[in-house]
Amino acid sequence: MHRQAVFFFTALAACAVPAAGQEVPQRRWLAGDHHVHSIYSARYTPDPARPDQPPPPIVGGDSSHTIEMNAQMARRHGLNWMVSTDHGGPNHAELNHARAWPDVVAARRAVPGLVLFYGMEFDVPGGEHASLILPIGAAERDALRGIERGYGKRELFPADPARNTKPRMIEALRYMAGLADPPVVIGNHPSRTAKGLGIWGQHAPEEYRAWHAAAPRVTIGMEGAPGHQAARPKPGLDTAHGSRGLYGGYPTMGGFDQMVATLGGGWDALLGQGLHWTITATSDSHGHWREGGADFWPGEYAKTWVFAAPTSPDILDGLRAGRVFVATGGLIEQLDVTAAASGRKAAMGDTLAVKQGDEMIVTIRFRPAGSANAAGAVPRVDHVDLIAGDVTLGVGDRNPSAKMVRRFTARDWRRDGKDLVVEHRMPASAAGGYLRVRGTSTPEGEPVPDVAGEDPWQDLWFYSNPVYWNG
């Protein structure tokens, strides 16, 4: 058997789901990034002399980083898992199949300390992009080719307008849900095309609700903090290319998408409609800022932390279950949020069953930075906010019930070893609800719109995913 194939099937065995009765490795917080580009995010330049022929892919045209280089830098910056996600053009499915997948297998061999997923930045029909994460297994190579061939909006030449519609995306998600081992899909840079605060561009909260309804175990959330956080203004480029996230219509807020950063906004609207909707943070690495690009390396600035065993199935299970928090600039290293009532307890992603009149005890435990971040500084948490909202099942892009329950500062928390802990008691609304936590290195009461050229290392935030309760 070929040496590469031997390695591949050995990797499959290491990532297999534990058999009944087999001890599951202990879960812990694992840092990752699901949005990373390589040389296979090709460019496509039509040949004026051959307008009837599909343009060939220019490998390295959109990123000069190999998959192995990305994996090595991810480990250097503290990541435990990463997804290689290249976007497409005409016949990109074959480029992925023939060249990107073998490079993923080689990178797994070269960087064994990293759980490396194969996937792509899916060219969303009727929209922008989404990270598509394939479960590691014998089917991953062909599964991705089937999805991209059948539904990638830029795959055909000449372009087929029928492939570039929002109903076509729903078809794609249903197809993915029907696979024997379905992937995970996470919406990327949700409000990058928004024209103003709450004035949506290509994606609105209700569209994500439709995605989730079509394939709830496939579509699990969206980027809360997009990549391209190292963007700086440059002569000859428009405002978007100098702004964090390359958001040109309405800026990020504290580096986070307005759907997440706005209290009572798009994320709260989805949660208030009963969705278990998870947010993440990524690098969207194409070109490093030291090379003249707008990006940090995977894990250099933003991390998505998943509470999981260090196996590919449990990392995907953690994403699906919402056992996730996100942080920028190394502001914190761990975060646990729990709610307890009547002898029961729930953590991030869980649902707490409450009774009429129950009082919940909310415990927030976080581990502040213990060492310098990639900018050479040890960041400090200024305050932590506890936010809660009702599940009203109302349709819309706002949730007016979402509110800040309490703000905690250093005088409120106690030290427990390396961790800082705060507790709060609050009633549980009979209709059901959710609570979530955010914190920052700044004194800002609410995240403010980012300005082009600001220093992202001076504006750090973390967000928990929700703990839910039902009456």
DSSP 343-380: TEEEETT-EEE--TT-EEEEEEEEEE--S--TTS----
- Identity of the amino acid at 281: A
| Per-residue pLDDT, 159 | 94
Fold of the domain built from segment(s) 28-50+57-470: TIM Barrel (3.20.20)
48-77: b or e for each residue (b if 16 or more CB lie within 10 Å)? eeeeeeebebebeebbebbbbbbbbbbbeb
Chain-centroid distance of CA 230 in Å reads 18
Rounded Cα gap, residues 388 and 288, in angstroms: 37
Instruction: Identify the pLDDT of residue 8.
Output: 40
Hey, CA dihedral for 429, 432, 437, 438, is it positive or negative? negative
Residue 266's Cβ-count burial label (10 Å; 0-12, 13-18, 19+) is: buried
Mark the ranges of the chain whose per-residue pLDDT is less than 70: 1-25
pLDDT for position 24: 54
| d(C-alpha 308, C-alpha 314), whole Å | 6
Determine contact, residues 414/402, Cβ cutoff 8 Å.
Answer: no
Helix (H) or strand (E) holding 403: strand 403-408
Q: State the pTM of this model.
A: 0.94
| Residue 15 three-state SS | helix
Determine the pLDDT at residue 448: 97
Distance CA 385, CA 259 (A): 17
For residue 70, the model assigns a pLDDT of: 98
Q: What is the pLDDT of residue 23?
A: 45
pLDDT tens sequence across 236-273:
888 788 899 999 999 999 999 999 999 999 999 999 99
